[in-house]
Amino acid sequence: MLSSRISGFHKKSVQDRLEIIAEKTDLTKDEIKILKKYGSLDEKTADTMIENVISTFDIPLGIATNFTINDEEFFIPMATEESSVVAAASNAAKIARDCGGFYVNSLGPKMIAQIQLVNVKSPSQVKFKILNEKEYLLKKANDQDPILKKFGGGAEDLEVRVLETPLGYMVVTHLIVDTRDAMGANSVNTMAEVLAPEIEKITGGRVYLRILSNLADKRLVRAYTRIAPSAIGGEEVIEGILNAYTFASCDPYRAATHNKGIMNGISAVAIATGNDFRALEAGAHAYASTYGQYTSLTRWEKDTEGYLVGFLELPIAVGIIGGATAVHPVAKIALKILGAETGPKLAEVIGAVGLAQNLAAVRALATEGIQKGHMSLHAKNIAVMAGASETEVDEVADKMVEGNQVNMEKAKQILEEIRR
Ligand code: MEV
């Protein structure tokens, strides 16, 4: 019987780990060969990034073109396994660029760390006591990270929230830290841990959690675009887009998909640049629920001249230093291609990509539907899986799309016909 308990697995070499897993899960020689093949992320680097490494995992890196953001040109590196995402972003950016492109701004790289004080009897008194020591606590936090302070960042403010919970009052201190060019998770988590015993001393209470919040709503990015009716296919297309947006704004079932489309773009750039895309996903979806009901992260409107106006606002906590951005060789090159010299600039570019991705999705959904775009690449994948050679792939894929039947059986049938 297979047991997943392997003593000391983490201490073994990559090769030894692979051998153990191969033996236990009956991997073939060819499968092992695939796992032993490394790309630009080599075995040694991968082994320093996470635990229990046995190989690396490649996904395609594409470049979205046509982007102008705040009147500057950008090539956007996107790492994603989903077909159509890069093409859709490029298409939407092309539509937008003829009308001036995207405009962005942001609140700056301010991260929140939470310190949870529990079982509080007199929350107002405790809140006052903590705020009374604000300067002392900020200094303590900054002493922890003098480098951040030196570069103009550091702990800037303290806010205290009272929660009424089933376990009594909790008093939650928010430490607000300017993390400069870093995403900042490590800095703010360390600061929160340093402040925890101080807060216990000041209040006489008990702290449990000390951790950042991914609802980074002091780190908002806004992206904007204004599109002429002629650039997007006319007034009827704009009506369709407004109906698509309004659906998402009123219905959480639709909003989830609408926002997923936005995150297709945002997460792809985050992955390409070595940023924590789960943090962005968490922040985005939490921010979409700010007013109680989960809703669309974008807004689409028609202005007085009949132009389509798009607006996206969400937290984007990314950096250009530290973490995988610093060690993953492809992430470093992606940052160079993108040309974002600061963390906030990267965040703003990512905001524009999110808006472009949404524009592409609502435009396609309100007109021909998204399957047409999706299907041609999907059909190529199926054709390859059915055994089509390089010279056969396009013909098999085209025939499947034409016949509106994209599946393995059809691919095999077409392949047989061609070969006959
Ligand atoms: C697919 O990955 C994303 C879309 O479903 C987004 C949307 O529906 O708005 C096309």
- Our CA angle for 286, 183, 197, nearest 5°, is 85
151 and 38, same structural domain? no
Residue with tokens 């000041």: 202
183 and 321, same structural domain? no
pLDDT over 80 (residue 374):
no
pLDDT in tens, 138-184: 999 999 999 999 999 999 999 999 999 999 999 999 999 999 999 99
> Do residues 301 and 309 make contact, with C-beta atoms less than 8 angstroms apart?
yes
277 and 407, same structural domain? no
**Of 185, 213, 241, which closes a domain?**
213
What is the gyration radius of the CA atoms in the chain, in angstroms? 25
Label each residue of 84-123 as H, E or C.
CHHHHHHHHHHHHHCCCCEEEEECCCEEEEEEEEEEECCH
Q: What is the pLDDT of residue 148?
A: 94
Instruction: Give the domain range for residue 89.
Output: 61-105+219-367
pLDDT in tens, 116-143: 999 999 999 999 999 999 999 999 999 9
192 and 143, same structural domain? yes
Establish whether residue 370 lines the binding site of ligand 1, counting it when its CB lies within 6 angstroms of any ligand atom.
yes
pLDDT over 80 (residue 37):
yes
pLDDT over 90 (residue 395):
yes
Q: Residues 212-231: what's their mean pLDDT?
A: 98
* Residue 398 Cα to chain centre, angstroms: 33
Q: Residues 265-287: what's their mean pLDDT?
A: 98
245 and 115, same structural domain? no
- The tally of domains found in the chain comes to 4
168 and 19, same structural domain? no
227 and 88, same structural domain? yes
pLDDT over 90 (residue 91):
yes
284 and 240, same structural domain? yes
Q: Which residue has the least CA distance to atom 6 on ligand 1?
A: 261
> Do residues 349 and 338 make contact, with C-beta atoms less than 8 angstroms apart?
yes
Q: Which two tokens stand for residue 108?
A: 């700056």
Mean pLDDT of the chain: 96
What order of strands is seen across the sheet that includes strand 308-315? 103-106, 220-227, 308-315, 298-302
* Residue 226 Cα to chain centre, angstroms: 24
Q: Is residue 3 part of a domain?
A: no
Q: Which two tokens stand for residue 365?
A: 């959904």
Q: What is the pLDDT of residue 377?
A: 78
> Do residues 328 and 274 make contact, with C-beta atoms less than 8 angstroms apart?
yes
Q: Is residue 190 part of a domain?
A: yes
Q: Is residue 4 part of a domain?
A: no
Q: Is residue 37 part of a domain?
A: yes
Best residue for ligand 1 mutational test, from 370, 372, 375, 378 (most atoms within 8 Å of Cβ):
370
206 and 123, same structural domain? yes
Spell out the residues 6+ positions from residue 78 whose beta carbon is closer than 8 angstroms to its own.
61, 62, 63, 64, 85, 86, 89, 265, 268, 269, 272, 353
Q: Is residue 236 part of a domain?
A: yes
- Our CA angle for 120, 121, 124, nearest 5°, is 85
> Phi/psi of residue 196, each to 5°?
-55, -55
Establish whether residue 92 lines the binding site of ligand 1, counting it when its CB lies within 6 angstroms of any ligand atom.
no
Q: Which two tokens stand for residue 120?
A: 């509080």
194 and 131, same structural domain? yes
Q: Is residue 259 part of a domain?
A: yes
pLDDT over 90 (residue 35):
yes
294 and 181, same structural domain? no
> Do residues 393 and 384 make contact, with C-beta atoms less than 8 angstroms apart?
yes
Q: Which residue has the least CA distance to atom 10 on ligand 1?
A: 361
Q: What is the band of 378 on the pLDDT scale with cuts at 50, 70, 90?
A: confident
Strand partners, 315: 220
169 and 120, same structural domain? yes
Active site residues: 82, 260, 276, 374
- Cα 53 to Cα 47, 137, 160, 331, 392: the distances in Å are 6, 40, 41, 19, 37
Q: Residues 386-415: what's their mean pLDDT?
A: 92
Q: Is residue 5 part of a domain?
A: no
Establish whether residue 258 lines the binding site of ligand 1, counting it when its CB lies within 6 angstroms of any ligand atom.
yes
- Cα 309 to Cα 103, 158, 304, 347: the distances in Å are 12, 36, 10, 21
pLDDT over 90 (residue 381):
no
**Of 156, 180, 213, which closes a domain?**
213
Domain containing residue 405: CATH number? 1.10.8.660
User: CA–CA separation, 232 vs 278, rounded Å?
Assistant: 32
Q: What is the pLDDT of residue 21?
A: 98
Of the listed ranges 250-254, 269-273, 347-351, 405-409, the least confidently predicted one is: 405-409
pLDDT in tens, 54-67: 999 999 999 999 99
Domain containing residue 325: CATH number? 3.90.770.10
Q: Is residue 171 part of a domain?
A: yes
Establish whether residue 176 lines the binding site of ligand 1, counting it when its CB lies within 6 angstroms of any ligand atom.
no
Q: What is the pLDDT of residue 33?
A: 98
**Of 367, 389, 405, which closes a domain?**
367
Spell out the residues 6+ positions from residue 408 whose beta carbon is closer than 8 angstroms to its own.
382, 385, 386
Positive or negative: CA dihedral 281, 286, 291, 294: positive
Domain containing residue 155: CATH number? 3.30.70.420
User: CA–CA separation, 233 vs 189, rounded Å?
Assistant: 49
Q: Which residue has the least CA distance to atom 1 on ligand 1?
A: 261
Cα of 170 vs centre of ligand 1, distance in Å, is 39
